[in-house]
């Protein structure tokens, strides 16, 4: 079959490679009808992600037709499916909690060791995204093997085009979860850094969750225009100072919730970002997280920070990769005392005697 | 996930607006370069194996 393969920084080629085969009972083979290039594929293209090997097939946003199934697959030949990019077993502790990106079994054991070293615990498997995540062949190809095909794939209802559902594979749920992690409340003002696909879906999701205002930040005019199409106000950080603009737009308070949808390769001519870029280019650092810093500083006191964008640094990756929630904050003492009193009296009244 | 699928079916979330370019799988290296070099115009590249007209911009 033909497939898009990685050969080094800025060197990807379409090669003829072996067709995938059923290896495990729960596998299925999908004939690809549509597959997208993700912003995170550019991290591979730019050589930011370690453990890539020449000839690795890329692609983790794809869909197509089921053409072969193992005896343990629940899919049926001829079905159209969209395949989520995380490879999850469906039966471990984390899958039991529907935290599929934290699956213990989707990533083969020898690759898990690398994740243990870097992040404290192994990561789930991913399609076409380095040997850190299992070394699985991706879907920018004519065919792909889908492990645990009884868990991830979504059968597409009749009447929907590929273009309508393809992004269920990654960027739509990623954007939705970015908004969900911001705990948006009705009436909130939400700021979104980055108007790439994830940021633009986060904008739509934030409005659906009840945000009154969404402020989108980027420097690409076309992308800011798309954000405005969905009702967002926008800041072009090349024309205005982001922090000052946000303060002015929110009466000096700051947004209730901030979402970083930029992360790894943030742009901008700011002192901290220039330092990050020098570190990354000399391998003293692994990412450029200017947007995360800016989002945290601009968020209102007591607000919420959602970090959707990829991170690889030793500082933030163990948290991002594993989906940890942290809630820093000096106690709002008088409120805390009241809540504590209510909770402890409730606990006393429900304690079995 | 079915919730998001329903949101698409009910027209609450627009997904197709994002696609700026559709092209053949054979043109994927060109798609990577375009996406990398021009993120203003190239918002999303969708590759379709066997796509008849390579490198056709959406719309």
Phi, psi of A352 (to 5 degrees): -65, 135
Q: Give whole-number Cα distances, A190 to A44, A156, A217, in Å.
A: 30, 32, 11
pLDDT, position A289: 57
**What's the CATH number for A2-169?**
3.90.180.10
- Measured from the Cβ of residue B54, the count of other Cβ atoms closer than 10 Å reads 14
The pLDDT mean for chain A works out to 88
CB A257 within 8 A of CB A304: yes
Residue of higher predicted confidence among A108 and A92:
A92
Answer whether B18 sits within 8 Å of A167, measured CB to CB. Answer: yes
Q: Where are the domains of chain A?
A: 2-169, 172-321
Question: Measured in whole angstroms, how far is the alpha carbon of residue A340 from the centre of its chain?
Answer: 35
Is B6 a residue whose pLDDT tops 90? yes
Domain A172-321 bears CATH identifier 3.40.50.10860: no
Angstrom distance (rounded) from CA A63 to CA A156: 9
Q: Which residues pair with A235 in a beta bridge?
A: A217
The residue-averaged pLDDT of A111-130 equals 82
Angstrom distance (rounded) from CA A249 to CA A41: 34
Closest CA to B8 of A166, A96, A212: A166
Task: Tell me the two tokens of residue B23.
Answer: 């092209």
A35 in contact with chain B, both atoms CB, cutoff 8 A: yes
CB B25 within 8 A of CB B48: yes
- Measured from the Cβ of residue B22, the count of other Cβ atoms closer than 10 Å reads 23
Query: Judging by DSSP bridges, how do beta strands B21-24 and A304-307 pair with one another?
Result: unpaired
Interface residues on B facing A, Cβ-Cβ cutoff 8 A: 1-2, 4-5, 7-9, 12-19, 25-26, 28-29, 31-33, 35-36, 39-41, 43-49
| DSSP H or E segment with residue A176 | helix A171-180
- pLDDT interval class at A338 (50, 70, 90): confident
- Range scoring the smallest mean pLDDT among A196-210, A219-233, A260-274, A310-324: A260-274
The residue-averaged pLDDT of A87-104 equals 94
């Amino acid at each position: 079959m033909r497939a898009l393969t990685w050969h080094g920084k800025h060197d990807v080629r379409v090669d003829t490679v072996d067709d995938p085969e059923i290896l495990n009972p729960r596998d299925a083979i999908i004939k690809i009808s549509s597959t997208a290039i993700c912003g995170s594929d550019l991290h591979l293209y730019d050589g930011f992600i370690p453990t890539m090997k020449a000839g690795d097939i890329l692609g983790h946003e794809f869909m197509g037709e089921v053409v072969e199934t193992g005896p343990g697959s629940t899919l049926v030949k001829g079905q159209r499916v969209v395949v989520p990019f995380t490879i999850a077993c469906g039966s471990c502790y984390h899958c039991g909690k529907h935290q599929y990106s934290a699956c213990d079994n989707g990533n083969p054991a020898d690759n898990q060791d690398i994740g243990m070293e870097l992040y404290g615990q192994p990561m789930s498997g991913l399609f076409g995204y380095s040997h850190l995540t299992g070394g699985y062949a991706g879907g920018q190809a004519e065919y792909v093997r889908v492990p645990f095909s009884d868990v991830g794939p979504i059968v597409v209802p009749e009447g929907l085009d590929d273009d309508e559902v393809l992004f269920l594979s990654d960027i739509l749920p990623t954007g939705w979860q970015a908004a969900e992690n911001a705990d948006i409340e009705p009436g909130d003002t939400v700021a979104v850094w980055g108007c790439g696909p994830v940021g633009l879906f986060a904008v739509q999701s934030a409005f659906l969750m009840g945000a009154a205002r969404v402020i989108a930040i980027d420097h690409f005019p076309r992308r800011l225009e798309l954000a405005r199409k969905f009702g967002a106000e926008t800041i072009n950080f090349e024309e205005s100072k982001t922090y000052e603009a946000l303060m002015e737009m929110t009466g000096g308070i700051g947004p209730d919730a901030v979402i970083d949808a930029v992360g790894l390769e943030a742009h901008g001519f700011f002192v901290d970002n220039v330092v990050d870029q020098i570190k990354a280019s000399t391998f003293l650092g692994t990412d450029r997280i200017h947007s995360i810093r800016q989002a945290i500083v601009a968020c209102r006191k007591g607000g919420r920070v959602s970090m959707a964008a990829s991170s690889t640094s030793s500082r933030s990756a163990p948290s991002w990769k594993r989906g940890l929630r942290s809630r820093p904050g000096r106690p709002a003492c008088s409120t805390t005392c009241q809540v504590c009193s209510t909770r402890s009296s409730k606990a006393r009244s429900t304690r079995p005697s | 996930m079915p919730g998001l699928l329903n949101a698409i079916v009910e027209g609450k979330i627009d997904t197709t607006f994002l696609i700026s370019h559709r092209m053949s799988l054979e043109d994927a290296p060109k798609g990577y370069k375009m996406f990398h070099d021009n993120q203003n115009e190239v918002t999303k590249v969708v590759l379709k194996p066997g796509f008849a007209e390579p490198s056709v911009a959406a719309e």
